Chains A and B, each alone.
Chain A
Amino acid sequence: MSFFHRHRGLTPYLLLGPGIAWLAVFFVVPLGFLAYQSLQSGNFDIGYAFTWSWGNYWHAIRDYHAQFVRSLEYAGLATVLALVISYPVAYWIAFRGGRWKNLLLLFIVAPFFVTYLIRTLAWETILSDNGFVVNTLQSLHVLGPSGRLLATSAAVVTGITYNFLPFMALPLYVSLEQIDGSLIEAAEDLYASKLQAFLRVTLPLSLPGVVAGTLLTFIPAAGDFINAQLLGAPENHMIGNVIQSKFLELTDYPAAASMSFILMGGILVAVAIYARIVGTEQLTGTAA
């Protein structure tokens, strides 16, 4: 296909074209509506008018900064937990999976087939105040005699972690799977211990997966609302819950819109800092 040789400069744009166009029409345009809404004022009774109402943004921060911060905290904690929990498994599947790899991958996303609500209800049964888990923790004195796991921040973070495990595990696996085993062998031939080989060869090579997984987990988790609603007490509610209520119960669309932008902004800032630390090549990929 000499067409591609001659028009090499065109190739990236052809590749990007369909996907970006899709996002441009079905995401950016709606986002534009949202931005417009965020600068409106009014309520459902009298209607909404565009008034360059930057005050919406200020009010959102002033009134709900606690929930914003809490959301970033919970999401961050859940991301770290997910990483620590998933990495060994992704490693195991990638290096020891053999021909069972695809099946094991399926098991990782299997919980999603039974719908969010059902698996959260199942977890509520497992973490019930009178259940096996809580009783064990009580006898180990990790929890007080009237302690509980549900309706606490622990339950919310656990719920988020559980629900985002596939988002962390799959990218990790993807990155680990392509590591050439001969590199590790070479390291060991050069007298590295297994641990050193892992730290010096495997881990760095899996960094793109780590970055991908942490982004795919942290970013959506920060906007999550359902875990806090079902597993948390009012004091554990996240910014997603507030945006939800602004939109549905209060029909305060300008507030919901402006809060969403602040959330997005906060997340982008966090990601930018993260990119700095990790090094932008991992984040954005090196150009040819």
Chain B
Amino acid sequence: MTDQLTRRELLKRGAAGSAMLTVPGLLAACGGKAKSSAAKSTNKLAKTLHFSNWTLYMDTNKKTHSFPSLVQFQKKYGVHVDYVEDINDNASFFGKIQGQLSRGQSVNRDIVVLTDNDRYLSLMIKKGYVEKLDKSAIPNMKNLVDVQKHPNFDQNRDYSLPWQSGMTGIAYNDTLTGPVLSVDDLLTNPKLKGKVTCLNSMGDALTLVMLSNGDDPSKVTDKSFNAAFNRVKKAVDSKQIRQFTGNDYAPILARGDLMAAMSWSGDIAQLGNQHIHWNVPKDGGALWTDNMLIPKGGNVYTASFYMNYVYDPKVQGLMEAGDPKKNITGIYYIPPVAGAGEWAKKYDPSVANNPLIFPTQKMLDSVHLFDNSALNNQKYLTQWQNLISA
């Protein structure tokens, strides 16, 4: 029984009052626990792939309101992708699915996407809430860019594969202020008082501040944490920082209520406003990557197969760039697939020259990752949250 059970099927069974009403029960009837159902599936693709992702993270055809790469996938392999954009925040999504996962229940999803500069990605892997990838189904994994091959939360890429990456830096509005190119400027320049925001994500914010302090964000110590924390606290107390935001800084920036904001690269590219400029801060910025995971109970083979499809440079190029001639908008973040750039150029040349989508080597050298163990340090987290909700 390799078909992914749909909710409708489960409801039907419920109505029939069948005894095998739990997913583990049903899978047991199929001759295997949730864990081993993947190993047993004899390389047969399921009819449906349940893919949960963040919003606006897939190539979209605005006229036919469909996702071209997913349509193509279905045409080629006969698998319908049930694509749901119900992830808008790592914390709330994790809060939503952890109950079921901690009880060994399936969440009816084959692929979910979480960010690496938040604690939940590593937590999912650490707590065993995810299935191992079927690497034999992902030969295209060799196209993964080198820098992503051995992240510290998943040394051998057994459980995760990057979806897209982005950078954290500083955006400023040139009609209101001169260039704001450093964290120093952002946090202490009196001309910007009350007109800057900081990100509420500890991983993002402290990476930037630590780099500005000359510390290494990938190896956080109490000392470097406190130094960075106190700097931010000072900016809060002096009312330099107006608010802590998620990506709701975008409307505030666009309105002109902010002169500068700590922000994510992709958002600014999408703002469509020539007066708002994004830069990697002088002392360095952050690199974050959204990763695909297979939650427990997901169909490993089909999910892995899809990942392989996505790691084909030609497919990735189309997804990334879209195709303006056919009214397809692309993803416009940083693809993790080597060679995608060449293909993207063919569909939309302007995209290949956009440093926010295909960053220069110089840019890539100046962005850093945050220490994963620090992300799970309860003490640091509590302190940070108390600062945000003073």
Contact of A233 among B91, B242, B248, B376 (CB under 8 A): B242
A183 to chain B, nearest CB (A): 50
A67 lies within 8 A of B251 (CB): no
Q: Bound state CA distance, A90 and B112, in angstroms?
A: 48
Q: How far is the CB of A236 from chain B (nearest CB, A)?
A: 9
Docked CA distance A235–B388 (Å): 8
Task: Given A130-B256, A245-B385, A249-B91, answer yes or no on A237-B376 (Cβ-Cβ < 8 Å).
Answer: no
CB pair B378–A128 under 8 Å, yes or no, is no
- Interface positions of B from 212 to 270, Cβ below 8 Å from A: 236, 239, 241-244, 248, 251-252, 255-257
Interface centre among A44, A129, A151, A249 (most CB of B within 10 A): A249
Contact in complex: B390, A124 (CB < 8 Å): no
**CB contact under 8 A between A124 and B252, given known A129-B257, A233-B243, A234-B236:** yes
Select one of B89, B236, B389 contacting A67, CB under 8 A: B389
B26, CB-defined interface residue at 8 Å = no
A237 near B257: Cβ-Cβ < 8 Å:
no
A110-142 residues at the B interface, CB under 8 angstroms: 121, 124-125, 128-130
Contacting pair B378 A245 (CB below 8 A): no
Q: Is the CB of A146 within 8 A of B389?
A: no
Residue B123, interface by CB 8 Å: yes
- Return B256 CB to nearest CB of chain A, in Å: 5
Total interface residues on B, CB under 8 Å, equals 31
The A-B contact count (CB < 8 A) is 72
For B255, the chain A residues whose CB sits under 8 A away are: 124-125, 128-130
B:336-390 near A, CB below 8 Å: 376, 378, 381-382, 385-390
The answer to whether B194 touches A242, judged by C-beta atoms less than 8 angstroms apart, is: no
Assess whether A282 is interfacial by the CB under 8 Å rule. no
Q: Mark B111-145, 1 if CB is under 8 A from A, else 0.
A: 00000000000010001000000000000000000
- Alpha-carbon gap, A31 to B385, bound state (A): 26
B92 contacts A by Cβ under 8 Å: yes
> B95 within 8 Å of A by Cβ?
yes
Q: With the chains together, A44 CA to B387 CA distance in Å?
A: 22
Which residues of chain A are near B389, meaning CB under 8 Å?
67, 234, 237, 241-242, 245
Q: Contacts A124-B255, A129-B256 given; indicate if A234 touches B194 (C-beta within 8 A).
A: no
- Cβ contacts under 8 Å, B89 to chain A: 248
Shortest A129–chain B CB gap in Å is 5
Q: Mark A190-202, 1 if CB is under 8 A from B, else 0.
A: 0000000000000
Query: Across the interface, do B382 and A235 meet the contact criterion of CB distance under 8 Å?
Result: no
Q: Which residue of A lies closest to B195 (CB)?
A: A129
Contact between A248 and B92, CB atoms less than 8 A apart: yes
For the complex formed, measure the closest distance between the CB of A68 and the CB atoms of chain B, giving whole angstroms.
12
Contact status B390-A151, CB under 8 Å: no
Q: A128 touching B257 by the CB < 8 A rule?
A: yes
A43 at the interface (CB under 8 A from B): yes
| Contact of A250 with B by CB under 8 A | yes
B34 to chain A, nearest CB (A): 20
CA distance A249 to B388 in the complex (A): 12
Q: In the complex, how many angstroms separate the beta carbon of B292 from the nearest chain A beta carbon?
A: 22
Residue of A130, A248, A252 touching B257 (CB-CB under 8 A): A130
Do B257 and A150 touch across chains, with their CB atoms under 8 A apart? yes
Known: A234-B388, A235-B390, A248-B92. A151 touches B243 (CB 8 A): yes
Question: Once the chains are docked, how many angstroms separate the CA of A248 from the CA of B251?
Answer: 24
- A146 with B385: CB separation less than 8 A: no
In the A-B complex, the 6 residue pairs with the smallest Cβ-Cβ separation, listed nearest first, are: A248-B91, A237-B389, A234-B390, A245-B385, A129-B257, A241-B389
Known contacts A121-B251, A151-B194, A248-B89; 18 further A-B pairs (Cβ under 8 A): A44-B123, A128-B255, A128-B256, A130-B255, A130-B256, A148-B257, A151-B242, A232-B243, A233-B239, A233-B243, A234-B243, A234-B244, A234-B387, A234-B388, A241-B389, A245-B388, A245-B389, A248-B91
Show the binding face of A for B, using Cβ within 8 Å. Answer: 43-45, 63, 67, 121, 124-125, 128-130, 146, 148, 150-151, 230, 232-235, 237, 241-242, 245-252
CB<8 Å pairs between A and B, sample of 19: A44-B123, A44-B127, A128-B255, A130-B256, A146-B194, A148-B257, A150-B252, A151-B242, A233-B239, A233-B242, A234-B387, A237-B390, A248-B92, A248-B94, A248-B95, A250-B378, A250-B382, A251-B94, A251-B98
